[in-house]
Copies of this chain bind each other. A is one copy, B any other.
């Protein structure tokens, strides 16, 4: 599989050298990650996404088209004819880690102690442990034990 930058022509990057900025250019709007979240949770059809997110339909049309262009969703016309299915590509499925990180941060910081929320569980029903960046030896890393090399 050829690995190419999925930049639909005409698109320009906010900060061409920064992977964080590129990711945000591709999926960093108000709705894209929620659409991807729902795709991961089984949504396939246009109306699935519309009902789960509550997004305006013209915007949904546009976001689905952009996500397809950008190689994150694949649009397949169902054999039955008119129905369209939007399924995650490999790049889309790989956003799982980003979604999990966002989910876990939200659980820790965006809920009052008494509030309940949905939970991500493994096949035996246990919640996933918290993601943690580490160095090559498995030692936990954070903001002040890492740095960004801006050259090369």
Contact = CB atoms under 8 A, between A and B. Distances in A.
A24 B109 CA distance: 12
Contact of A5 (B25, B111, B135): B111
Interface residues of A, number: 82
A142 B24 contact: no
A147 interface: yes
Contact of A23 (B94, B106, B125, B129): B106
A53 B15 CA distance: 8
Tallying the copies of this chain within the complex gives 2
Contact of A133 (B23, B71, B96, B146): B96
Contact of A33 (B20, B34, B71, B145): B20
A22 B136 contact: no
A118 B17 contact: yes
B149 A121 contact: yes
A19 B104 contact: yes
Given A28-B28, A100-B133, A122-B141, A110 B3 contact: no
A117 B109 CA distance: 31
A124 B143 CA distance: 15
Interface string A25-36: 110111001100
Given A19-B110, A91-B108, 4 more contacts: A19-B102, A19-B117, A97-B131, A118-B150
21 contacts: A4-B112, A6-B109, A14-B34, A14-B53, A17-B117, A17-B118, A18-B37, A19-B103, A20-B37, A20-B99, A22-B117, A26-B110, A88-B143, A91-B108, A93-B142, A97-B104, A98-B101, A98-B105, A120-B147, A124-B135, A129-B134
